Amino acid sequence: MTRVHDMGGRFGDGPVVPEAEEVKFHADWHPRALAIVLASGSLGTWNIDVSRHARECLAPKDYTAFSYYEKWMGGLAALLVQTGVLTRDELAGLGDAQISDLATKKLTADQVAGVLARGGPTERDSDVAPQFAIGDAVMTRAIAENTMVAGGHTRLPSYAAKATGRILRYHGTHVLPDSNAHGLGEAPEPLYAVIFPAAELWQHPEHPRDEIVLDLWQSYLEAV
Amino acid sequence: MPHDHHDHDHPHTLLPPDPALRVKALETILTEKGLIHPAALDAIIDTYEHKIGPRNGARVVARAWSDPEFLQALRDNATKILDEMGYSGRQGEHMVVVENTAQTHNMVVCTLCSCYPWPLLGIPPGWYKSDAYRARAVREPRAVLADFGVALPEGTAVRVWDSTAEIRYLVLPMRPEGSEGLGEEALMELVTRDSMIGTGLAQAPV
């Protein structure tokens, strides 16, 4: 079984509402929430896969009710406590907050441009050789779950489980989120863009020639 | 097998229920602990409010329409050429540009979260992060396009890219008819944000 964030293909969500390009944020606190999450991330106590998993682990009723930046804050609160950056009492505003040992890593205004410009590239050298070539037919895992940790992070959506497609592009070897989200190492391996006919994924595709492409790691795939 | 340990513990419930007060509480405690600097927060906000936005992507598209060598460089290694233009970094570390043609219309989504090419398009719009877009774009892209007032010719196939890894996709829209002879700045005016996500088309010149 999957988690609440894995919603690709779900029915019942209603219309998509377009928005003017000038609109950046929808409430005064949104930019602050964005900035707090990014600044906290630069302390280096978690990586992007850990932080995505923290958001995915919100209770389904919260995940559904929360706006985007509320999910970010919910994830941040979990990360701060789980990694020991804050105690639960500190988060609750109880007691005297002392300066953290991590304060030396605090992001300063003059570092912001450099940190954002560097980002977090995920391409790594790997001992795992590419097993597939462009055009090869592949099938995805039958169960879209993390194979190492029950309820763990994975990037195979459930709608694309046990589906047959073909390799469209090779992206090089990249950090494996299923491992990196759980302190099990970066475990880089080949990453591919895999293309599926819409009819392979949906009972009622809109058009016979429509296609869906997903970026999938080699260990999600087997040869057909 | 180890079990995920997050499920029984939701620390956000320790914070005030009102989201504005929740942000304030987080900022206060993190500042008191010496973990965030308010001036750094201001610099991050200024970056995404004023410096990084869809005009970056529009410049790339306009140049690709005008300069065949640049287009070829995008096809060969988009990450490299975009980095040389200064359009790289957070949420745009690995870039691929996908080209719309009369045969294929490309559209980008992230069903699992809201991955988006920030250095080229800025902060994702509200609808891109909505459940409706995340749920529907992969299953009924044409119905989603209709929500944007876009109807494709019957002969055009839709190719939806679900951004499941750290590769970020920019759609290169078709160059509109009547734009022959326009310079890069004028072409940029025709390139909407939505046309670079694939939920819109480039505008025809007035």
pLDDT of residue A27: 95
Q: For residue A13, is it within any domain?
A: no
Instruction: Assess whether B118 and B159 both reside in one domain.
Output: yes
Instruction: Assess whether B45 and B92 both reside in one domain.
Output: no
| % of chain B with per-residue pLDDT over 70 | 96
Q: For residue B7, is it within any domain?
A: no
**Overall number of domains in chain B:** 2
**Overall number of domains in chain A:** 2
With an 8 Å Cβ cutoff, are B10 and A106 in contact? Answer: no
DSSP assignment letter at B50: I
Chain A contact for B150, CB < 8 A?
Answer: no
Which residues lie across from B171 on neighbouring strands? Answer: B98
Q: Which domain, by its residues, includes A73? A: 29-118
* Best CA proximity match to A125, nearest among A201, A69, A188, A39: A188
ipTM above 0.95, yes or no: yes
With an 8 Å Cβ cutoff, are B138 and A9 in contact? Answer: yes
Of B138, B149, B194, the CB nearest to A8: B138
Q: For residue A22, is it within any domain?
A: no
Using pLDDT thresholds of 50, 70 and 90, give the confidence band for residue B1.
low
pLDDT of residue A95: 79
With an 8 Å Cβ cutoff, are B166 and A193 in contact? Answer: no
* Pairwise CA distance, residues A59 & B178, whole Å: 52
pLDDT of residue A1: 55
Instruction: Assess whether A94 and A35 both reside in one domain.
Output: yes
Substitution target in A210, A218, A221 with the highest count of B β-carbons within 10 Å is: A210
* Pairwise CA distance, residues B201 & B176, whole Å: 9
In this structure, how many other beta carbons lie within 10 angstroms of the beta carbon of residue A108?
13
* Pairwise CA distance, residues B172 & B164, whole Å: 20
Average pLDDT over residues B174-180: 96
Nearest CA in chain B to A217: B165
Nearest CA in chain A to B164: A215
Chain A contact for B136, CB < 8 A?
Answer: yes
Using pLDDT thresholds of 50, 70 and 90, give the confidence band for residue B2.
low
Instruction: Assess whether B90 and B151 both reside in one domain.
Output: yes
pLDDT of residue B5: 57
Contacts (Cβ under 8 Å, ≥6 apart) of B21:
B15
Mean pLDDT by 10 residues, chain A (224 residues): 90 97 95 97 96 96 95 96 95 90 96 94 97 98 97 98 98 98 98 98 98 98 97
CATH code, domain carrying A113 = 1.10.472.20
* Pairwise CA distance, residues A34 & B48, whole Å: 10
Helix axis angle for A68-82 and A48-56, nearest 10°, is: 110
With an 8 Å Cβ cutoff, are A59 and B160 in contact? Answer: no
Nearest CA in chain A to B14: A92
Which residues lie across from A140 on neighbouring strands? Answer: A221
* Pairwise CA distance, residues B128 & B126, whole Å: 6
Q: Which residues of B participate in catalysis according to the annotation?
A: 110, 113-115
